[in-house]
Amino acid sequence: MQTLGGNHNVVRLIEGLRYQDQITLVLDYFEHKSFKDYLGYLTVEQIRVYLIRLFSALAHVHSNNIIHRDIKPSNFLFSPETGRSMLVDFGLAQLVDVNTNKFPSHLSDLSANERAAILAKCINNHFRCKSLLQSRRLFGRPVAPRAGTRGFRAPEVLLRVPKQDTALDIWSVGVIMLSLFTGRYPFFVSKDDMSALVEIAAVTGSHELCEVGLEFGKQVTFSSVISKPDLAELCRKLNCTPRTSIPDEAYDLLKKCLSVRPYERPSAQQALDQPFLKS
């Protein structure tokens, strides 16, 4: 927080105090409203401002090689009247080792044909993906961090993929966007990780989740095939707000943020360059 705070809509750490075993952090006061209070009343322009502020804060955080790991509405304070915002709660934040922990050091460096070849070998070898991928040195430590709030955890967190990077924050923004576009919060309400994967499959389709599981050395099996829906159509059907229609450019951004493959999601800076946020 000393590195990040006070800039780009990130809360400033004023002082830290300690008395015996009690630690108190002194932060800037920020007047805002609860997400539930304004969710159903935001205009499309206010949604655009909200996302610009959030992605700007994340671009600043990620540029310092830090994953927030707990992006959710209650950690992004927003005032609809003023358009001001503040990213808070860095209690789960993690510093990324850019040489070993980020996805660009392995899967995203492979071409589509190379990834397809790995997937085919996994299938032909009876899903023995873990040993195959480890032999290619795509994985490191055996235990994956699982921090985050239920309903906002990215697929790679639920699948306990060892290598995780800032892309998991982008997934969480995608979940927030689902609520912004439908007026429904929380959007995902599962009580455990297995149910959470089924909920995600209802948005992304089960086939892609099974494929990305194989890429990361995990076997994911569903009792039945869940077809991938059209996200724009799904959001329109679920929308319970009186606002005008969300533009197609917004749904394009949503689809990119909710890619089950973390290396296919846009960075926070790339998201800011998308048509919906630049218009």
Give the whole-angstrom CA distance, residue 142 versus residue 20.
36
70 classed as catalytic: yes
Q: How far apart are CA 275 and CA 206, in angstroms?
A: 29
Cβ(173)–Cβ(254) under 8 Å?
A: no
Q: Which of 21, 70, 165, 192 is catalytic?
A: 70
Helix (H) or strand (E) holding 63: helix 44-63
**Quick check: 12 and 73 in contact, CB under 8 A?**
no
What is the dihedral sign for C-alpha 226, 267, 273, 116? negative
Q: State the Cα–Cα distance between residues 214 and 221, nearest whole angstrom.
A: 11
Q: Fill in the DSSP letter of residue 87.
A: E
Contact partners, residue 133, CB within 8 Å, separation at least 6: 118, 122, 139, 215, 216, 217
Could you count the other beta carbons within 10 Å of the beta carbon of residue 222? Answer: 13
- Closest alpha carbon to 14 in 25, 30, 3: 25
Q: Using DSSP, how many helices (H) and how many strands (E) does the chain show?
A: 12, 6
Instruction: Give CA separation, 276 vs 27, 82, 181, in Å.
Output: 32, 20, 13
**Residues annotated as catalytic (active site), given as ranges:** 70
